Chains A and B, each alone.
Chain A
Amino acid sequence: MTIIQKLLGAAAALALSAGAALADPALIFDLGGKFDKSFNEAAFNGAKRWAEETGGSFNEIELSSEAQREQALRRFAEAGFNPVITMGFAMADPLSAVAPDYPDTKFAAIDVTWLDLPNVRQVGFAEHEGSYLVGMLAAMASKSNTIGFIGGMDIPLIRHFGCGYAQGAKAVNPDITIIANMTGTTPAAWNDPVKGSELTQAQISQGADVIYAAAGGTGVGVLQSAADAGILSIGVDSNQNHLHPGKVLTSMLKRVDVAVYDAMKAGANMETGVFTMGLADDGVGYALDENNASLISAEMKAAVDGARASIIAGDLKVASYYENDSCPALNF
């Protein structure tokens, strides 16, 4: 932290005094903030790893208003930062406005895949495929034939997670009951562990014994309540198995840190275009480490790895919520 602070201080001083082309990267966090224990924090970890390994420095901003999206992009591009990395789908629109004005600056947009801009690297994740695998694990680990899903804010992206999860669970056990809840309808839903805990208890009382949280900071409350009640939970984005060893069945990994690290490492020579990180390149996956080794039997692992291989090979297709804004396995 202190190293980063020094680096950032130096970067800020340079930016202020010179304002010339620095070719340092810049990172724009989404409204959730840098320390959300999830999506943005993963990006920060990737950037930190790059800074530690290369001794480089980067600038960053935590957005606090919608109007700042375009502002931050322009200011970083003007000050010569390259590449400028953005987090979250909400940056797509500001990027379409700003990126054409700075053709010599490269932008990397995480969770954006549908723009047609020559100087933007767009990185999407096959979250539904990763969620499919943890859904299979949940169904195999459940004894009550009832599993739960707790989303953050009710937006299509989170339904996309839930949809893959439900398909995976139904593939193992077609009769399984899936209880799905969303935490809320405001951005506060990303950081409401108390509500996450309440929803967990409500789902437990309906018989759920494995609960998947795709809810940012809210998930901390889900994992805690599940561990307290002696049932299993599934973490998201980062590997959260270590939070409650032996009580977290697995985590659905979304390697945002790798995407950010790669973009920073490539620097100004970053390749642009649309990239989807899926199971094949470990962009998404399920976490297996010493904390959950006892929970995943050899049989479970074999089944999930088999499904993983067939998804990569294209024999098994997990339906995406985006295709027709609905889910074949779950109603929201």
Chain B
Amino acid sequence: MGKMPNWADAVLVPVISLLLAAILSALVILAIGEDPLAALQLMVKGALGSSYGWGYTLYYTTNFIFTGLAVAVAFHARLFNIGGEGQAMLGGLGVALACLYIPWPHWALALVGATATAALLGAAWTLLPAYLQARRGSHIVITTIMFNFIASALLNYLLVNVMRPKGSMDPATAKFAEATHLPTLHDMLAPLGIAFSKSAPANISLVIAVLACGAVWVLIWRTRLGYEIRAFGHSEPAAHYAGINATRITVATMLISGGLAGMMAINTTMGEAERLVLNSVEGAGFIGIAVALMGRSHPAGVLLAALLFGFLYQGGAELALWTNIPRELIVVIQALVILFTGALDNMVRMPLERLFTPRKPSIKKG
């Protein structure tokens, strides 16, 4: 099969996939007797039509950038980290520990400290699966997903029995101190004279997420470790022959991956809830897989895909608020996008490739 120009691979394939998903979603919405155009309009207006909508869209986007990058880094070493959920939960625990038990004088210091503990605990949660994969051959898909359940059991135990303020019904920690509250986009943009909705949860973690995209790009394409990760991903025997230590690369990749997933918690736990709740990750770890697939494991692609899913989440919330399209159907729409951009990628790619390949004259005998 011939090769497509890069622009077609990067732009045309996702756009056509999205269109197909949109057409199918429209049919589904029609089938339950709603107007798909009105629904789309509501989604766009609700997610991108106001600074309030943008605030929520970017809040979800921040989550998905972190978990998407986590999956993408692991993909480069051909490791399938589907434990982003558990790693982000542990990241939440790291944020809570840092914010509750250390008296920070200023939010900037708290942000640095909490980011470090979140990344540390998120990374620590991948250590065992990574070691088992590298030394014992236990498949990382199985172990990381098992660790998701262990993480939720651990968090449940801690929140119900240890960290819950006495007498509170809610299995959550106490509110973090005022000094650890992160500035929202409203606070950040106000000095520049830009009015941004006060009630939207998007906060300074978005900046960290974008910086993380840059850092991952540098890591993968501009450092020795990144080169080793990619080499290991392309061919393990070749990497071994080149003197790359498989155990070291597997563990290092997974630690970075887990750390990125854990950092998601600074957005949800420190930025939005300002306390650790039981359900702080709510599936973003899994959405990260779709984001990484759609973004072709490239940080720029992850950023765009995360924005798309942020839009779908916030647009979906608006649909749930103002129409009687049930929330299950909104999940169906999100799933269709994942299906077309991730799983059915080749369905679009192959005909496109054929289109771009100049037809070779067929040789006939006789």
> Which A residues are closer than 8 A to B by beta carbons?
5, 8-9, 12, 15-16, 31, 33, 59, 61-62, 64-68, 70-72, 74-76, 89-90, 92-93, 111, 114, 153-157, 185-187, 322-323, 325
Kindly list chain A residues whose C-beta atoms are within 8 Å of the C-beta of B199: 70, 74
Q: Are A157 and B169 closer than 8 Å at their CB atoms?
A: yes
Q: Are B321 and A67 closer than 8 Å at their CB atoms?
A: no
A89 to B320, CA, bound (A): 21
B314: nearest residue on chain A (CB-CB)? A71
In the assembled complex, B282 has its CB within 8 A of some CB on chain A: yes
Chain A, interface SS category: helix
Give which listed residue, A71, A93, A114, contacts B56 with CB less than 8 A. Answer: A71
Q: Are B317 and A65 closer than 8 Å at their CB atoms?
A: yes
Count residues of B near A (Cβ-Cβ below 8 Å). Answer: 43
A199 to B158, CA, bound (A): 24
A74 to B155, CA, bound (A): 29
Q: Are B321 and A61 closer than 8 Å at their CB atoms?
A: yes
In the assembled complex, B313 has its CB within 8 A of some CB on chain A: yes
In the assembled complex, B156 has its CB within 8 A of some CB on chain A: yes
> Which B residues are closer than 8 A to A by beta carbons?
42, 56, 59-60, 149, 152-153, 155-157, 160, 164, 166-172, 175, 199, 201, 268, 272-273, 275, 277-280, 282, 313, 316-317, 320-324, 326-327, 330-331
Residue in A15, A16, A33, A59 with the greatest tally of chain B CB atoms within 10 Å: A16
CB proximity of B333 to chain A, nearest CB, Å: 12
CB proximity of B269 to chain A, nearest CB, Å: 10
Q: Are B156 and A72 closer than 8 Å at their CB atoms?
A: no
Kindly list chain B residues whose C-beta atoms are within 8 Å of the C-beta of A5: 324
A5 to B325, CA, bound (A): 10
A156 to B277, CA, bound (A): 14
Kindly list chain A residues whose C-beta atoms are within 8 Å of the C-beta of B317: 64-65, 68, 71-72
A74: nearest residue on chain B (CB-CB)? B199
Chain A to chain B contacts (Cβ below 8 Å), 21 pairs = A15-B322, A16-B322, A61-B320, A62-B326, A64-B317, A64-B327, A64-B330, A66-B268, A66-B277, A66-B279, A66-B282, A67-B59, A67-B60, A72-B317, A74-B199, A153-B156, A154-B156, A155-B171, A185-B157, A323-B167, A325-B166
Q: Are A156 and B321 closer than 8 Å at their CB atoms?
A: no
A62 and B327 contact, Cβ closer than 8 Å, known pairs A67-B56, A70-B199, A157-B169: yes
CB proximity of A174 to chain B, nearest CB, Å: 27
A59 to B324, CA, bound (A): 9
A248 to B277, CA, bound (A): 35
A31 to B280, CA, bound (A): 13
Residue in A157, A186, A187 with the greatest tally of chain B CB atoms within 10 Å: A186
A65 to B57, CA, bound (A): 13
Kindly list chain A residues whose C-beta atoms are within 8 Å of the C-beta of B59: 67
A5 to B42, CA, bound (A): 18
Q: Are B327 and A33 closer than 8 Å at their CB atoms?
A: yes
Kindly list chain B residues whose C-beta atoms are within 8 Å of the C-beta of A8: 324
Kindly list chain A residues whose C-beta atoms are within 8 Å of the C-beta of B153: 185
A29: nearest residue on chain B (CB-CB)? B327
CB proximity of A12 to chain B, nearest CB, Å: 5
Q: Are B313 and A65 closer than 8 Å at their CB atoms?
A: yes
Kindly list chain B residues whose C-beta atoms are within 8 Å of the C-beta of A68: 317, 320
Kindly list chain A residues whose C-beta atoms are within 8 Å of the C-beta of B320: 61-62, 64, 68
Kindly list chain B residues whose C-beta atoms are within 8 Å of the C-beta of A16: 42, 322
Give which listed residue, A70, A156, A187, contacts B169 with CB less than 8 A. Answer: A156
Kindly list chain B residues whose C-beta atoms are within 8 Å of the C-beta of A323: 167
Q: Are B170 and A67 closer than 8 Å at their CB atoms?
A: no
Kindly list chain B residues whose C-beta atoms are within 8 Å of the C-beta of A9: 323-324
A153 to B320, CA, bound (A): 26
A9 to B323, CA, bound (A): 7
CB proximity of A51 to chain B, nearest CB, Å: 13
Kindly list chain B residues whose C-beta atoms are within 8 Å of the C-beta of A111: 169
A90 to B278, CA, bound (A): 10
Kindly list chain A residues whose C-beta atoms are within 8 Å of the C-beta of B170: 89-90, 92-93
Kindly list chain B residues whose C-beta atoms are within 8 Å of the C-beta of A90: 170, 172, 277
A155: nearest residue on chain B (CB-CB)? B171
Kindly list chain B residues whose C-beta atoms are within 8 Å of the C-beta of A67: 56, 59-60, 201, 268, 272
Kindly list chain B residues whose C-beta atoms are within 8 Å of the C-beta of A31: 279
Kindly list chain B residues whose C-beta atoms are within 8 Å of the C-beta of A186: 149, 152, 156
Kindly list chain A residues whose C-beta atoms are within 8 Å of the C-beta of B152: 185-186
Kindly list chain A residues whose C-beta atoms are within 8 Å of the C-beta of B268: 66-67
A185: nearest residue on chain B (CB-CB)? B156
B60: nearest residue on chain A (CB-CB)? A67
Kindly list chain B residues whose C-beta atoms are within 8 Å of the C-beta of A15: 322
- Contacts A62-B327, A93-B172 aside, 16 further interface pairs with beta carbons under 8 A come to A15-B322, A61-B320, A61-B321, A62-B326, A64-B320, A67-B201, A68-B317, A89-B170, A93-B175, A93-B275, A114-B169, A154-B156, A155-B160, A186-B156, A187-B278, A322-B167
Q: Are A325 and B169 closer than 8 Å at their CB atoms?
A: no
A5 to B160, CA, bound (A): 39
CB proximity of B78 to chain A, nearest CB, Å: 29
